[in-house]
Amino acid sequence: MCGIVGYIGSREAAPIVLDGLSKLEYRGYDSAGLAILNNGEIQITKAVGRLKVLENLTHGGETMPGSAGIGHTRWATHGAPSDMNSHPHFNKEGTIAVVHNGIIENYIALKKKMQDKGYEFVSETDTEVLAHLLDYYYKGNPLEAITKVLHRVEGSYALGILFAEHPGDIYAVRKDSPLIAGQNDDGCFIASDVPAILKYTRTVYYVDNQEVVRLSGDKLYFYSVDGEELNKEAVTIDWDANAAEKEGYEHFMLKEIYEQPKTVTDTVSPRVKNGEIVIEELNMTDEELQNIKRIHIVACGSAYHTGVAAKYIFEGLVRIPVEVDVASEFRYRSPILQEGSMVIVISQSGETADTLAALREAKKQGYKVLGIVNVVGSSIAREADNVMYTWAGPEIAVATTKAYSAQLSALYLLAMKLGRARGTIGDELFGELLEDLRKLPNQIELLLGQKQKIQRFANRYVGAKDIFFVGRGIDYAISLEGSLKLKETSYVHSEAYPAGELKHGPISLIEDGTLVVAVSTQPMLYQKTISNMVEVKARGAFVMAVTCEGNKAIEKAADYVLYIPESNPYFANSLAIIPLQLFSYYVAVGKGCDVDKPRNLAKSVTVE
């Protein structure tokens, strides 16, 4: 949930580490800190607040000379955001400094033991225990000390460690929290994610679980948890370097909303060959696809919402029963998987702790898992049996938009592939679906053209207290995502309900002027949703409808209508979500919220 960066080489470390941290602020942004090793001494500066505070405090790193350094941007888990709880943490003499992303689960027991040995703790964090344990085991050989500590700690961690007595080295370790190492002619790097070092190098190593890395000037060494040296293959990152920059947009979120036509194209195009859907990564024959009896989809947040949409799509188009679970529930509910079950986990980051645990649970029960993942080389991508990448590129804004769209596209492809293999989608329907799928990017583009209209409408709701999103079937899945976007970016309280469920309770919350966003893209359900709109309108609600071109009948029941282009109803999610994303974005901008880094949130939730 935090971000770590380290650099050692021929250049000044602090500015490079600060720059790297600025690309990781999406992972946590309540405090930040640096440890720089210079002339055998470790200098530490940390500050509560955004990274800017630390940058100002250190004059962009100038006040911290030295060519080896580690840094951290924090999303607090143990102990409130404060200077003291910020990382790096260090031993009493200040000769060992540690930055940590993850959670040390047995830290209370370890802390007690270290206190009994006379160690004093100055923070409330779990991480500080690592600094003291390292101190305890360090007898001149860092690798030996680290491996001893690793055998004692339980939990998840990516660590960057400096030893004052070893000015030519930085050490790093990974278990269940992401970590990459990189190299160029000027030195070596570690980071929690690629964008942090993309400016400096494209030669990257994905550090595996329980591996130790030594960054030694211009060379990287890898070791097992038992200290044996390992050989690792480098990966070349081919992302566009601008992908992680704002490129003139006011916020990453807006830029990413605008990238959606490309995201859909990039996810779909490589998998349509000669008029057929080809998903090589599935590694399943048509016969195997025919034998699937049930699909379990497991994910969190927005990724879960794509799963909810997929349930309607798979059951409607492919006639396979689908269960969708929030990962944090799936992992602890003793899920019953039966022969013929296919498990799909969906994750942008590929690091979400609950989704990863769900994947492991399914594998433990002997089932193969398909990961629909955006971040290449992430934990879920590596642990899933098969991976279908969503080619959305780096997504920086904490509120997902383009990765969500890419996930939907991947699920459409999967549904079409399954339907084709199982004979539920005949030639004619398949042809129509393919044509509609190909039209989606242009149709999204058209919707983006309505930006100003949506902004004007959103400005009216900057002061809103509660907003409701309702819809039936796939429209309910869209409502869930519309509501989440609004909550997380603008802090407006919002609920999503199946439209037919309103009168079973929530309708009592409707007051004069309450905005109800009614999503109605499924022709079969138009009339039903209109009835629900009329019901809330009669209780004073202001109804904004999102519906398909041609559904003029809705104008009788709605106060304001946004039309989306006509497409196959199974793909409507990809279109209807665009105005809802823009709406949330502009309400948040209107309220002066920190759109890309909403309070209390982090992009990658690597803790339970």
Return the active site residues: 2, 603
Least spacing, CB of residue 590 vs ligand AGP, in Å: 19
The whole-angstrom separation of Cα 89 and Cα 558 is: 57
Least spacing, CB of residue 273 vs ligand AGP, in Å: 28
Task: Count CA atoms within 13 Å of residue 564 on its CB side.
Answer: 28
Least spacing, CB of residue 494 vs ligand AGP, in Å: 13
Least spacing, CB of residue 353 vs ligand AGP, in Å: 9
Which residue of the chain is nearest ligand AGP when measured via CB? Answer: 301
296, β-bridge pairs: 323, 343
The whole-angstrom separation of Cα 277 and Cα 268 is: 9
The whole-angstrom separation of Cα 456 and Cα 77 is: 39
- Report the 3 state secondary structure along 152-206: HCCEEEEEEEEECCCCCEEEEEEEECCCEEEEECCEEEEECCHHHCCCCCCEEEE
Map tokens 């602090």 to a residue. 14
The whole-angstrom separation of Cα 532 and Cα 501 is: 9
Closer Cβ to ligand AGP, 302 or 494, answer by number: 302
Least spacing, CB of residue 305 vs ligand AGP, in Å: 8
Angle between helices 427-448 and 572-591 (to 10 degrees): 20
Map tokens 């679906």 to a residue. 433
In the three-class reduction of DSSP (H, G, I as helix; E, B as strand; rest coil), residue 46 is classed as strand
Closer Cβ to ligand AGP, 55 or 481, answer by number: 481
The whole-angstrom separation of Cα 461 and Cα 120 is: 52
Tell me the H-state helices in 224-372.
252-258, 260-268, 286-290, 301-313, 327-330, 353-364
Measured distance between the N- and C-terminal CA atoms of the chain, rounded to whole angstroms: 10
Cβ density class 152-173: b for 16+ within 10 Å, e for less:
bbebbbbbbbbbbebbebbbbb
Least spacing, CB of residue 126 vs ligand AGP, in Å: 22
Closer Cβ to ligand AGP, 77 or 216, answer by number: 77
Least spacing, CB of residue 347 vs ligand AGP, in Å: 3
Closer Cβ to ligand AGP, 262 or 305, answer by number: 305
Which amino acid makes up residue 596? D
Closer Cβ to ligand AGP, 16 or 308, answer by number: 308
Q: Using alpha carbons only, how large is the chain's radius of gyration in Å?
A: 25
Closer Cβ to ligand AGP, 95 or 581, answer by number: 581
Closer Cβ to ligand AGP, 458 or 602, answer by number: 602
CB atoms within 10 A of CB 84: 15
Closer Cβ to ligand AGP, 28 or 301, answer by number: 301
Least spacing, CB of residue 300 vs ligand AGP, in Å: 4
Closer Cβ to ligand AGP, 183 or 581, answer by number: 581
The whole-angstrom separation of Cα 129 and Cα 591 is: 41
Least spacing, CB of residue 301 vs ligand AGP, in Å: 2
Nearest CA-CA partner of 596 in 351, 245, 264, 101:
245
Least spacing, CB of residue 299 vs ligand AGP, in Å: 6
Q: Which two tokens stand for residue 153?
A: 């700690």
Q: Which two tokens stand for residue 139?
A: 């007898």
> Residue 116: is it exposed, middle or buried by C-beta count within 10 angstroms (0-12/13-18/19+)?
exposed
Task: Count CA atoms within 13 Å of residue 555 on its CB side.
Answer: 6
Closer Cβ to ligand AGP, 378 or 514, answer by number: 378
Q: Residue count of the chain, please give it.
A: 608
Q: Which two tokens stand for residue 65?
A: 């000379």
Q: What phi and psi, each to the nearest 5 degrees, are found at residue 279?
A: -115, 80
The whole-angstrom separation of Cα 92 and Cα 331 is: 40
Binding site for ligand AGP (CB under 6 A): 300-303, 347-349, 352, 355, 398-400, 488, 604-605
